[in-house]
Every structure is written in structure tokens, then in C-alpha cells.
Amino acid sequence: MTELLTPLADVGGPAQPLLTIRGLQKHFPLKKGPLGGGGGLVRAVDGIDFEVLKGETLGVVGESGCGKSTTARLMMQLIAPTAGEVVFDGRVVGTRDLPLKEFRRQVQMVFQDSYASLNPRLTIEDSIAFGPQVHGLDARQSVARARDLLARVGLEPSRFAERYPHELSGGQRQRVNIARALALQPRMVILDEAVSALDKSVEAQVINLLQDLKAEFGLTYLFISHDLHVVRYISDRVMVMYLGQVAEIGAADRLYEQAAHPYTRALLSSMPAMDPDHRTETAPLAGDPPNPINPPSGCRFHPRCPQAAPVCAERAPQLRPVSPLQRVSCLIHETGSGHPLALTQAA
């Protein structure tokens, strides 16, 4: 299990998985046309395995449509998987071992749209108190918890508790959503583009708040974002997705400094430079991601990969450890010879 060792191991011994994803797939059927044509499947998530370690923030990145949100919704069991399972703290979710209701108390989610997530007819206080009441806490205790949490996310309860969502700014509403997610005292929070709609200065405040709350409540985060700078800042490890699969996963610093997958390198070189004097050597990502209805054969990245060899169109790579801190799905790393061309030459 050496691949589970992360920088967290430096501070608290070997990190253990809190949530494990095994062979997860989601294929959405396409509607048939009036004459029976069409059909087919959108392979939104197509066989992924990974773990979220206790106490870490796992960042998830990848181009639009690569399956990040579908993965999050599958993890929460908001949609049924085509195949695979979610294991939380050693128990399979949605079984007698760990019924959905109990799992959903322990794992909460915050979405991008701060307004859509709140009931416009409920006051802020009632929105936050609702979850604990559903889970059996009495009304007085639920309201007390809501007020505590409002203060904790930086919203003075005497000013905000009785207001309605439309009376708040986007940043304030997202603080309410975070308070609401914490009201059930979860162990893990999934943040799906949770700061993406905020102004840069508000975004920075909310990210710092998330960091403080994580430390205070001992939380584990899965943090989905298209902003590679933010992901590097907040994450202990990062998972890179490409066309419904995991391309690479590893410790954030190592992945950003020594990416092993050609896709990760291309994605990172498309990052706007924080330092204008900094020049990257790598070619940026060319072309659009291919269609998840009809993904390329072999390695799905091969049509866009600057290092692709003929074998890459024929053989699908497996996710394998390349170091104790990094796993990658690329034939380069399966040969151990440094280039997939060696595979064709050796064959």
C-alpha cells in the first residue's frame, strides 16, 4: 500500500482512505430518434478507482466534460452508477452496512450555484437548521447549532439569521451553504466548483474559511475546480481526469512540478502564468477533447498526445504507481523504458 503514502504521512503516520471508489462507471443512454436512430451511450465516467485519504484535500481537475461533476454525484449517490461501488470508512455505501441516510450525514456537498442550493422561502437560520432536524435534533438545538455555524462562517447571527437568500451577496450565500453542509457534523465535504462563481477577493476569503474549518472540524475535502492555481493552493493531492478516466493522481507539489502524464503537462502549461517572467517549455494543449460517446481506442489521449506512438492507439494503459506519491495511466510508464515507441519496437 505504499502508493497511499502522502505528505500527510509526514505529520500523522500513514494516511488511511476515508472514501474509496472502485471501478466506478456512469454511462448515460442517449435518446433514440423518432425513427429509432441515435441511441448510444455517453461514457461520462468510465471505470475509475481512487481513494480520498482521511484529513486530506483531494483536488480534481480536467477539461470541461471530463466527468468531474458526474464523479461527485456518483460519490454522493445522487445518481446510480452503471457499475462500481463507493466504500466509506470500510463500509459499502447503500448497503445494510452503511445505509444512504447515514452516509449522507457524514458526507455533504457544496455546489457552484449558491442560490439554487437554498430554499428561497426559508430564512437562512431555518435553511441551516433543517438538516439537523430531519436527522432528529430538536428544534431548539438545531437553531442554536445554525446560529453557532453562522458565526463560524463569518456571518453575524443577529444580522443574518432572519434574512432570506435573495437578501445576501453570492459570497455570503456560499458561506451559508458551507454552514448548512457542516450542520450535520460531516466528516467529509465535496466542493464542486464551490468558489468558481465568486469574485476573486471573495473567493480568496472563502478558500481561507474552508481551510480554517477543515482544521477546526478535522474535515476531509474533495475539491473540484477548473482553476489550477486554486487547486494547487488548497490541495494535498490532485487527481487529473481525462474523458471519464483518471490520467494521473499524486501529491500536489510533485504533480505540478513533475507531472508524469503528457496530458497533465499540457493542462498545466495552459495555466495563465502568475509570474509574467515565467515561461513554460511545454506545448499547450491542442484541439478539443474527443467525444465521450465514441472515445478513441487505446489511450484516450493519444490523438492529442505529443508523445503518442502507434501502440497508444491499440493498448489502454492502466493506472500504475510511478513513485510512492504518484500514479499515472500512460504507456510510457508501463515500459519503464521512457518512451512508448519502445513498446512497438520490442513487440
Ligand X SMILES: Nc1ncnc2c1ncn2[C@@H]1O[C@H](COP(=O)(O)OP(=O)(O)OP(=O)(O)O)[C@@H](O)[C@H]1O
**What is the chain's percent helix, strand, coil content, to nearest 5?**
35, 20, 40
Per DSSP, which regions of 89-235 are E strands?
91-92, 107-110, 188-192, 220-224
Whichever of 68 and 333 has its CB closer to ligand X, that residue is: 68
- 68 binds ligand X per the rule CB under 6 A: yes
CB 142 within 8 A of CB 129: yes
**Which span (58-66, 95-103, 269-277, 304-312) binds ligand X, by CB under 6 A?**
58-66
Residue 106 in grid coordinates: 457524514
298 is a site residue for ligand X (CB under 6 A) = no
Asked if residue 81 binds ligand X (CB under 6 A), the reply is no
48 binds ligand X (CB under 6 A): no
How long is the chain? Answer: 347
Report if residue 225 touches ligand X, rule: CB under 6 A: no
Buried b (16+ CB within 10 A) or exposed e, 113-152: bbeebbeeeebbbbbbbbbbbeeebeeeebbebbbebbeb
Which one among 19, 61, 66, 75 touches ligand X, defined by CB under 6 A? Answer: 66
> 270: how many CB neighbours lie within 10 A of its CB?
13
Radius of gyration for the alpha carbons in the chain, expressed in angstroms and rounded: 22
Q: Does 28 bind ligand X (CB under 6 A)?
A: yes
Compute the least distance from the CB of residue 39 to ligand X, in Å.
13
**From candidates 7, 40, 47, 65, binder to ligand X by CB under 6 A:** 65
Which residues between 157 and 196 bind ligand X (CB under 6 A)? none
Among 17, 21, 59, 69, binds ligand X (CB under 6 A): 69
Q: What are the Cα distances from residue 44, in Å, to 84, 245, 249? A: 14, 9, 19
| Residue 330 is a binding residue for ligand X (CB under 6 A) | no
Is the CB of 69 or the CB of 245 nearer to ligand X?
Answer: 69
What is the binding site for ligand X (CB under 6 A)?
A: 28, 42, 44, 62, 64-70, 226, 292
